[in-house]
Every structure is written in structure tokens, then in C-alpha cells.
Amino acid sequence: MKKYGIPILITVLMSCVVSCEKTTCNIQITDEGTLQKLIGRNIRTVKELTLSGTLNAEDFHIIRNANHLHFLDISNCDLQYLPDSALAHCDSLKEVILPKGLVNTGDFTFYKCIYNHRTTKTNQKYPSVNL
């Protein structure tokens, strides 16, 4: 290992906890904007993603790239606001669990996403979002 490899490895291990098994990932994020680094190639196959810690718009961009994501739990994230288009076009999502401290969402936060097979009497699909 190169000289600079050990301090970088120690820093990564101290700043997060990542557990990914097949299509399920549990990730604790302490530094905003690091989801890409932490999830790596698993973003292509993850179906269930549970996050805790702090997220920013860059992290939500990574979540939008998870084409097979069916379940997202951000209930343990320190968020009061979801950024604009945070989960836009996440059409494979079936369930999202939001933080209790969430106060507001940005524009187009759930645009074209999280519709499931349940419908109303007028056959209108509605989102499955748990607050």
C-alpha cells in the first residue's frame, strides 16, 4: 500500500459505516456529498437503501442514479429540507420513509416518481410516502 493509503483508509472508516449485501445497503454518512464514494458500484444494483447522517443535493443526485431502487429510508438523516428535484424521475421507487424533522421540500421533489399499484376510486395513482 502506498504511504498515503493508510491515512485515507482510516479517514473513510472513521467517517462512515457501510453495509451492502447483494441488493440492500445501509450507509451512515458523516460528510455531506460522500454517498458516491461510499456506495460505489452498488448504486447500479441496490434495491433497498437505508441512509443515516447528513445528505446534500449531490447525494440526492447519486440516489436518482439508482435505477433499481424500490425502497429508500432516510428517516435517520438530519434533514429539515429536501432539495429541488431530490427524488425526481425515481420511477422505480415504491416506498420512501422521510425524516420526522422534515419541514419542507423543494420544487419537483417527487416529480415522476414513487407511484405504486394502489389507485383511488377514480383510478388515479398516488404516491406511497411515509412521514
Going by C-beta distance under 8 Å and a sequence separation of 6 or more, which residues neighbour residue 41?
Answer: none
Q: What is the pLDDT of residues 72-95, one digit of tens each?
A: 999 999 999 999 999 999 888 888
Q: Give this prediction's pTM.
A: 0.74
Q: What is the pLDDT of residues 1-13, one digit of tens each?
A: 445 544 444 444 4
